[in-house]
Structure 1
Amino acid sequence: MFVVVALRWVDERAEVDPLSGRVRTSDRSAGASAADAAALELGLRLAGSTGGRCAAVSLAPAGADELLRGALASGADEVLRVEPAGEPDPRAADSGAGTAVALAAAVRERFGAPDLVLSGDHSPDRGTGATPALLAAEFGCAQALGLVSLDTEPAADGRLRALRRLDRGRRERLAVPLPAVCSVEAAGVRPRTAALPAVLAARSAEVPVVAARATPDPPPLTAAHGYRPRAKELPAPAGADPLRRLRELTGVGRRSDPPRVVVTDDPAEAADELLAFLRAEGHLDG
């Protein structure tokens, strides 16, 4: 089995300038998140149990070379760093689409089609967790996202057994066909500690670098601000008396009905009461 582990190089101690809003990062405090470290450990276990290979890749600048050398020290057979194309707009959040396209193209060109791609379920730097799903779309394979456990040996039918977290404390058991892309949480996986000889040998290892394939430029971002709902249009108060107009605008002295408490076990009746209230308040037509 050939396993590729996608690592996100991120500074979990980034500082934000209170005046400009720009994010300042440092190579000294950057590295892989706990979820990505768990993905690397699972990838090494799967490659070891099947007699296969494990490669660690990252779309990151030169500062991520130490991260990849750490993966080599832990037991990865190969590493690859994909140099980002251009400087992203710091005001725009990363959707994960460009990352998935760049990683998939680099992995195909360097290694061919992998049997399994592992990654963390999300990254700490405003990550949406969409990159693993987009990677599965790029490779055209199955996907299993948000896993809390993944067996490190394939079953007799060649599938991987996994457990996914669901809402309200429930779990879902999966039989994942290969090839596949899986994202894992950090729960229950303890990354190995690299031996000192391996760490010393990896310090001088050369990290292969390829340029990311250029993607279409996103629409230009001219301004970034929070969502501001449109102001609600209200009719002008009637009359010429300023005090009366002010009271009508502010609602002072207006009679208000006491709140109604409706207790019912019938969902249809509760929905009817809610719709009737919204119509009476003018929020719904008809």
Structure 2
Amino acid sequence: MLIVAALRFSDQRAAVDPLTGLVRTDARTSGANAADQAALEHALRIAEAFGGRCMAVTVGPVEAGEMLREALSVGADEVLRIDGPAEPVTEDGSETARLLLDGLPERPDVIVCGDHSTDRGTGATPAFLAQRLGACQALGLIELQAIDGALHAVRRLDGGRRERLMFGAPAVCSVEAAGTVLRRASLPATIAARTAEIPVAQAGSLRYLRAGAVTAYRPRPRALPAPTGNEPHQRMLALTGALVERTPPQVLHPATAEEAARELLDYLRRHGYAP
């Protein structure tokens, strides 16, 4: 069986320019977040229980190789980097799922992902993976185990409730960190992973456009009807509403809060806003 840990390469300490809103990232502080590390740990456990292979995969730039070397050092049998953009791309997760599956050399039996990423990801990539694979999906899990040839999971629900699931392969799972800590690598494995060659797959490019320059928010203009009247003066009066009959504003200075509330309720009743 092939168990895939789909990891997201993102900056864990991204800085935002307070004036322009531009997000600055650095490869030195980028890698897998706690949820992705939990996904890798679960993938390793499932591979051990099923006697299969664990492959760590990411869609990212050359700098993502360090994250994959860490996966090798903790016990992943294989790693694969699918060539992707160096900067985050605005997309809904479907293109990441397409690139990941197109780049894999064979069909996976189980894919484990983190439930969210730190770069404002939608969290929808696992669902798109399940749809493309035709596999069952179990998302937002806090526990995941392989028992007697099946996967047993626990999902968090609202109101402090829990949902217990049992399913088989093929499956796509997304997990929360939920106290699951990635195992520590041994010193020999860490040294060996430093010089390991990271395979790279070319699966095409993201079709989504990058975000443009950051500008101030400006609402869309509203389409208004043309003013009536043949003369410019008439059209100006129609635009300004200077001759429209209206209730003049009334300034009140009630002595108490009860009188102010009474005046407000009377106004609402006169205009049909209150019974």
Shared fold (TM-score greater than 0.5)?
Answer: yes
Give 2:132's aligned residue.
Answer: 138
Matches within 5 A, 1:116-195: 116-151=110-145, 153-155=146-148, 158-195=149-186
Which of 185, 199, 203 pairs up with 2:194? 203
Stretches of structure 2 lacking an aligned partner (at least 5 in a row): 225-238, 253-259
In 2, the alpha carbon distance for the partners of 1:41 and 1:174 equals: 19
Q: For each residue in 1:215-244, what CA deviation from the matched residue of structure 2 results, as whole angstroms up to 9, or x when unmatched? A: 54559968776595988x9x9878789xx8
Distance verdict in 2 for CA 1:228–1:147, change over 3 Å: farther
Matched-pair contact (CA < 8 Å) for 1:93–1:126: no
Q: For each residue in 1:90-139, what CA deviation from the matched residue of structure 2 results, as whole angstroms up to 9, or x when unmatched? A: 6x7331111111001111xx2x1111000100001112211111111121
Matched-pair contact (CA < 8 Å) for 2:68–2:79: yes
Give the counterpart letter for 1:2 in structure 2.
Answer: L
Distance verdict in 2 for CA 1:220–1:124, change over 3 Å: closer
Give the counterpart letter for 1:120 in structure 2.
Answer: G
Give the counterpart letter for 1:150 in structure 2.
Answer: L
Give 1:10's aligned residue.
Answer: 10
Distance verdict in 2 for CA 1:2–1:21, change over 3 Å: same
Give 1:267's aligned residue.
Answer: none
In 2, the alpha carbon distance for the partners of 1:115 and 1:123 equals: 23
In 2, the alpha carbon distance for the partners of 1:140 and 1:161 equals: 20
In 2, the alpha carbon distance for the partners of 1:206 and 1:170 equals: 45
Give 1:101's aligned residue.
Answer: 98
In 2, the alpha carbon distance for the partners of 1:236 and 1:103 equals: 59
TM-score in terms of structure 2 length: 0.79
Give the counterpart letter for 2:112 in structure 1.
Answer: L
Distance verdict in 2 for CA 1:225–1:42, change over 3 Å: farther
In 2, the alpha carbon distance for the partners of 1:196 and 1:102 equals: 33
Query: How many Å apart are 1:256 and its aligned residue?
Result: 1.8
The CA RMSD over aligned residues, in Å, is 3.4
TM-score in terms of structure 1 length: 0.76
Matches within 5 A, 1:206-217: 206-217=197-208
Q: For each residue in 1:17-36, what CA deviation from the matched residue of structure 2 results, as whole angstroms up to 9, or x when unmatched? A: 23332211111111100000
